[in-house]
Amino acid sequence: MAEAPPPGDRRFLIFFDFDETLVDETSDDMVVQAAPGGVLPGWLKDTYRPNRYNEYMQRVLAYLAEQGVNEPTIRSIIEQIPACPGILALLRFLQSRPPQDFEVVCVSDANTLFIESWLTRAGFRTVFLRVFSNPAHFDRNGQLQLRPFHSHECQRCPINFCKAVVVREYIARRVRERGGRPFQRVFYVGDGANDFCPSLTLSQRDTVFPRRDFPMHRLIQEMAEAQPGKFRANVVTWASGEDVIKTLRKIVEERG
């Protein structure tokens, strides 16, 4: 069967990061707990190179497989990661809204298997129209194979993933698919330094939600001080998903 075309009637588009935005941990760090003694050997940690974390995690996952860490163990660890404060309430809010309100997308430098596993277990996979992340799957030997999402020329981001490229291309494609009709507003919920880059692509009518006192928030503050007016989107910080709900509810109600 041909895949159904994406809905064209959504009024708003909202992007979410995964690690420390949907879940209150870094999923890669949680999986490392399955290593013998809960830590990685020094020789393996020493292979990390700046901006090449995806390649490093490929080696980590190979090591875990060699140590007998299997698929059920990894899935169990991921599925038990707690959500960030108020995030389940935020996802329930999005789930409860009329279908024409929100198109929801996840953009993360984690991997597809971790994200899909957690969302499915939490009961919110169907809330998300798309998940953009590094491809991952278990091979016939039970090893979790990880690949980079893409290559790009952005100097700010890791070599395997620039969220700004993903966000910009996704919005452009969806507007074309919608017959040239833009979303009324775009929202971005994140926490990390790699969430700052996509937030720069948004306009004055859009809103970014940086997690309070996390790297994304600090980078926005630094730009506001050093280059006033350059950061165009509205900024609403969050410590709980309830903070995001308040803003979204106000916007959807004022626009009917």
Asked if residues 132 and 106 have their Cβ atoms less than 8 Å apart, the reply is yes
Residues with Cβ < 8 Å from 12, sequence gap 6 or more?
Answer: 101, 102, 103, 183, 184, 185, 186, 187, 248, 251, 252
Residues 164 and 154 sit within 8 Å (Cβ to Cβ): yes
Known binding residue 17? Answer is yes
Is 243 one of the annotated binding-site residues?
A: no
- Report how far residue 65's alpha carbon sits from residue 73's, in angstroms, rounded to the nearest whole number: 11
Partnered with residue 185 across adjacent β-strands are 12
For the CA atoms of 185, 189, 191, 195, the dihedral, rounded to the nearest 10 degrees, stands at: -50
Helix (H, G, I), strand (E, B) or coil at 230: coil
Residue 191 marked ligand-binding: yes
Report, in angstroms and rounded to the nearest whole number, the Rg of the chain calculated over CA atoms: 19
Catalytic residue among 9, 19, 24, 46: 19
Within 10 angstroms of residue 67's Cβ, the number of other Cβ atoms is: 10
Can you tell me the distance from the alpha carbon of 240 to that of 211, in angstroms, rounded to the nearest whole number? 8
Give the whole-angstrom CA distance, residue 16 versus residue 203: 17
Q: Is 109 annotated as a binding residue?
A: yes
Active site residue 19: yes
Of the residues 17, 195, 206, 243, only one is catalytic, namely 17
Active site residue 9: no
Catalytic residues: 17, 19
Annotation: binding site for substrate: 28, 109
Annotation: binding site for Mg(2+): 17, 19, 191
Annotation: binding site: 17, 19, 28, 109, 191
